[in-house]
Chains A and B, each alone.
Chain A
Amino acid sequence: MSRRNSITGGFFIGLTAFSAFLIIAAIIILLTVIIIGGKGTFSWEFLTTFPYDGMMKGGIFPAIYGTALLVLIMSVAAVPFGTITAIYLTEYAHEKSKLAQTIRFAVRTLATVPSIIFGLFGLGFFIKFVGGGMDTVFFGGQLKWAQPNILWASLTMALLTLPVVIVSVEEAIRTVPRELREASLALGATKWETIRRIVIPGSRSGIMTGTILAVSRGAGEVAPILFTGAAYYLATLPTSLSDQFMNLGYHIYIMATQSSNVDQTLPIQFATTMVLLLLTFTLNLTAVIIRARLRRKVK
């Protein structure tokens, strides 16, 4: 190798290594700052109690509870709907049919829409249109559903996470070998029986991965729930679908921008961030493990 080549080669090796190092450094700095800032406040009590004294003191239990409830209702909506869509796309729709292509285009587009747009859509569609309609028809114009609540927030979030579910389930369905479908059909099973007894069970881990990724995404997003249901502070937990709720991501946002004394709440912000990161990190890791096992099974 000529001297010139070895110099440029060395330069690029250095450059790539440096870029990789920057990413790792960013993560380490991020985590260190959060842990140092939050560890004094983080405790069992912090996780299990309500905030008090104008949220200057106390824990974040209602925010954890609200986040959990949000992703639960969201999953109930997004997972079955996404799974059914994925089954339609892979099993029934012709690859080149106009309808299937339109759905795929819609799914891809949905995945790239900025999350704040979902928030605005939720406000306009679910609260004003659906909620307003429900109030007019069922409650004689009395204000009941035409306002932010956990149902509308969850459904808005479900729209945001739908592409994640669809793509994961589609991928899993495609890993079910053609031979197994043929075996089932050759035994006199109908297409639907084959899907129900062979394809869906064979895609279980993909449905699981999709759910977890959707939950992790839903737990971390704030913009879609800004106008659709998240509350600044609530003295009680939500007990009905028409109640508002507190949320981890939103809690961090208001603590950092709306609190009467931002500096004083800094430890709470850090500790809440720790909780949120821990939650999404654990969820993502689980999804990665399930997906890796699924891929190994295919080979």
Chain B
Amino acid sequence: MKEVKIKTRDLTLFYGAKMALNSISLDIPEKEVTAFIGPSGCGKSTFLRTLNRMNDLIPNVRITGEVLVDSLNIYDKQIDVVNLRKKVGMVFQKSNPFAKSIFENVAYGPRINGINHKARLEEIVESSLKKAFIWEEVKDRLQDSAMGLSGGQQQRMCIARTLAVEPEIILMDEPASALDPISTAKIEELIFELKKNYTIVIVTHNMQQAARVSDHTAFFYIGELVEFGKTKKIFTTPDKKHTEEYITGRFG
């Protein structure tokens, strides 16, 4: 196994009085794809959002335990959440382009980081769009509104927008669940390409997708981490009966 990039220890999360995550301890390896699977409401998206502190935005959330990114506890008081999110990027379930041009969408992150030099921005936008496999489709209409792109293109542009900030980790929350099969295939291909340089954590409802794209799989059930291991093993010879039942479609 490669270096551990993210390590959680006894991570427990409450929404008000309701426990949504129960003492999750998990090691996510660097530059590989880790998939979170499990039925709706099992806590996999909630867990993903603890990794870049997106849950901070929700009132009444209480978190205990540790999340270590590169051995630093991100819930430590000294941690600057803004810097954390630059390092840990996120792609959402529903593509969420800003009502701006394609160029300005991708340039949003760099601009926030104080890059205003035009040539430098153009360079970043081009390389980010290329990395997200969408450059050829949009290079002649960078100034057009991003709202005019198809759903699949929007999602790849959102990935490019995340890449423009140069994160080390990319969290993906069911990135292809709203897309058609062809767009989904493109996203999966892209994930395969991206793992050379980035640590990827993906939440998915789609079992085949998890099997295709990931190196490691974690199975969640009602806020608990049931099983975590190599994807091949989880999908062929899982240790837990529960995991097997879910994977073979006997419940879920």
Contacts and interface: CB of A to CB of B under 8 A. Distances in A.
Interface stretch (B35-43, B69-77, B84-92): B84-92
A198 B96 CA distance: 12
Interface size class of A (residues with CB under 8 A): 10 to 19
Nearest to B158: A183
A181 B109 CA distance: 13
B165 interface: yes
Interface stretch (B52-60, B188-196, B241-249): B52-60
A291 B85 CA distance: 35
B79 interface: no
A7 to B, nearest CB: 54
B96 A190 contact: no
Given A187-B112, A189-B112, A182 B85 contact: no
B96 A187 contact: no
Contacts of A179: 92, 94, 96
B92 A182 contact: yes
A283 to B, nearest CB: 26
B93 to A, nearest CB: 9
Contacts of B165: 187-188
Nearest to B86: A188
Contact of B108 (A190, A197, A202): A197
Given A183-B158, A185-B54, A185-B57, A190 B94 contact: no
B85 A187 contact: yes
A188 B53 CA distance: 11
A181 B54 CA distance: 11
Nearest to B171: A186
B162 A182 contact: no
A198 B111 CA distance: 13
Contacts of A14: none
A186 B162 contact: yes
A202 B99 contact: yes
Contacts of A184: 98, 108
A186 B92 CA distance: 10
B96 A177 contact: yes
A94 interface: yes
Nearest to B99: A202
Interface string A59-95: 0000000000000000000000000000000000010
Contacts of A45: none
Nearest to A183: B96
Nearest to A176: B99
Contacts of B99: 201-202
Nearest to A193: B112
Contact of B85 (A180, A188, A198, A201): A188
A29 to B, nearest CB: 45
B17 to A, nearest CB: 17
B158 A188 contact: no
Contacts of B57: 181-182, 185
B109 A187 contact: yes
Contacts of A193: 112
B108 A186 contact: no
Interface of A: 94, 177, 179-190, 193, 197-198, 201-202
Interface of B: 52, 54, 57, 59, 82-83, 85-86, 89-90, 92, 94, 96, 98-99, 108-109, 112-113, 158, 161-162, 165
Closest 3 CB pairs of A and B: A188-B86, A179-B96, A186-B90
Given A179-B92, A180-B98, A188-B83, 5 more contacts: A182-B57, A185-B85, A187-B109, A189-B82, A190-B82
